[in-house]
């Protein structure tokens, strides 16, 4: 993060400087080649790679104590339950939630947001307003659009400036007595922009709105303290923070969860079932119907252990150095235009290359073993804001190194030569 790394929250995460070369050995996929070249993986905003500890945690569950949870008195079931619920406790500590029952396990950020829109959204009425921002991922747009269609609520959009920063004055002007929900990203997946969420939450609370924060991108790069932020909902995905795919978290204030109707019906979310009616389980299980991704939850707990063992201070400092190094090269690279230059920015470099479609750039880079993301990044309104169909996005993680940034720019030279 260009400036966020100096924040007090990161200072609370004490860790020695990151030994990146050593840490790379923790990730087996980084040892492979692609098209005869060492893999340069710069698509971390889409999904991060997994360390051996996460892979082993899942393997160990399936090999030694595979059983369904919560429902069995036998030893394997109790062992699996302890490991799965232990992961919930790790999540609670990681994001500083007050209570473990406020941690709902989901399949990812998308399901977490849909849960809130579908359940909390049932209390909204025609004419109520939902405020989002222009930089949102589709997963923090479409669920609210669907809610607006069902309930005749109104969707408002706060604009961003040319640097990709939220225009806070216009955000504030869109808040009013009809605003019921504010949903915004902590860190943009397309631009890297980091929003001042604590201040924005305070603004929204002053008009009586609840706030949901999409933390999918932020969770692996920034310390998250939901108590300090004072948000009502916080959503993130396990696979962005070195954990398994198909895992996610919704943090929500217990008072809200108690008042919200269930999102899905089925096993484990009930206390009693009769044909005349049913009653719901206690939190958090009221919102966790059916057999969950047990191995994935345990793997998510292992991923959190891994990140905490390194320290977000060390990770953030290293990623900020990579972003500065890449940004300096980008400024000097002919024909390259950066898309997203916010002052507070995470380790994402989005850009276009004059005369070459981003998909062609990505294809050429792939022939050299370099994995980047090209396209609209599930953020079509952002692309429209900048008047481009797509961008090339290089996104960094704790295991990336400067020589991989160099490889990226050598690949861009090759792309220009091929299209000259």
Whole-number Å distance between alpha carbons of 375 and 383: 9
Contacts of 207 (CB under 8 A, 6+ apart): 175, 176, 177, 179
Residue of 378, 380, 388, 401 with catalytic role:
378
Contacts of 238 (CB under 8 A, 6+ apart): 108, 244, 245, 246, 247, 248, 249, 296, 299, 300, 303
Contacts of 92 (CB under 8 A, 6+ apart): 99, 100, 102, 103
Whole-number Å distance between alpha carbons of 184 and 101: 24
378 counts as catalytic: yes
Whole-number Å distance between alpha carbons of 216 and 248: 9
Q: H helices within 96-251, ranges in order?
A: 109-119, 142-151, 168-174, 197-206, 226-229
Whole-number Å distance between alpha carbons of 78 and 68: 9
Whole-number Å distance between alpha carbons of 117 and 145: 9
What is the 3-class SS of 130-169, one letter each residue? Answer: EEEECCCCHHHCHHHHHHHHHHCCEEEEECECCCCCECHH
Pseudo-torsion of CA 386, 143, 254, 238, nearest 10°? -70
Cα-based angle 244, 250, 252 (whole degrees, multiple of 5):
160
Contact (CB, 8 A) for 370 and 403: no
Q: H helices within 197-293, ranges in order?
A: 197-206, 226-229, 254-259
Closest to 184 measured CA to CA, from 196, 174, 176: 196
3-class state of residue 392 by DSSP: strand
Active site residues: 378
């Amino acid at each position: 993060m260009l400036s966020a790394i100096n924040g007090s929250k990161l200072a609370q995460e004490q860790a020695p400087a990151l030994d990146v070369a050593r840490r790379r050995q923790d990730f087996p996929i980084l040892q492979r080649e692609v098209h005869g070249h060492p893999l340069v993986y710069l698509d971390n905003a889409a999904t991060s790679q997994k360390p051996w500890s996460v892979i082993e945690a899942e393997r160990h569950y399936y090999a030694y104590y595979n059983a369904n949870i919560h429902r069995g008195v036998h030893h394997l079931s109790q062992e699996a339950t302890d490991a799965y619920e232990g992961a919930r406790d790790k999540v609670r500590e990681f994001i500083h939630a007050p209570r473990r029952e406020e941690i709902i396990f989901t399949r990812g950020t998308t399901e977490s947001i849909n849960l809130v829109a579908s359940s909390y959204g049932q209390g909204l009425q025609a004419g109520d307003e939902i405020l989002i921002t222009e930089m949102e991922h589709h997963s923090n747009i479409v669920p609210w659009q669907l809610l607006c269609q069902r309930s005749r609520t109104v969707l408002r959009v706060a604009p961003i400036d040319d640097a990709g920063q939220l225009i806070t004055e216009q955000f504030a002007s869109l808040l009013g007595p009809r605003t019921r929900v504010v949903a915004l990203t902590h860190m943009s997946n397309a631009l890297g922009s980091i929003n001042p969420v604590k201040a924005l939450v305070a603004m929204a609370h002053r008009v009586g709105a609840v706030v949901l924060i999409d933390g999918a991108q932020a969770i692996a790069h920034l310390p998250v303290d939901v108590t300090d932020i004072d948000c009502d909902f916080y959503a993130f995905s396990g696979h962005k923070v070195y954990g398994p795919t198909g895992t996610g978290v919704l943090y929500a204030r217990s008072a809200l969860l108690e008042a919200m109707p269930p999102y899905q019906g089925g096993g484990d979310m009930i206390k009693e079932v009769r044909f005349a009616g049913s009653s719901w389980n206690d939190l958090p299980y009221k919102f966790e119907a059916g057999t969950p991704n047990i191995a994935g939850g345990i793997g998510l707990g292992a991923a959190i252990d891994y990140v905490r063992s390194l320290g977000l201070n060390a990770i953030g400092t290293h990623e900020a150095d990579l972003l500065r190094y890449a940004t300096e090269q980008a400024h000097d690279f002919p024909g390259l235009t950066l898309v997203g230059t916010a002052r507070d920015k995470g380790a994402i470099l989005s850009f276009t290359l004059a005369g070459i479609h981003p998909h062609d750039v990505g294809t050429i880079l792939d022939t050299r073993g370099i994995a980047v993301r090209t396209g609209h990044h599930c953020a079509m309104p952002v692309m429209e804001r900048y008047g481009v169909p797509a961008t090339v996005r290089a996104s960094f993680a704790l295991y990336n190194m400067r020589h991989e940034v160099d490889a990226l720019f050598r690949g861009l030279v090759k792309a220009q030569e091929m299209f000259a």
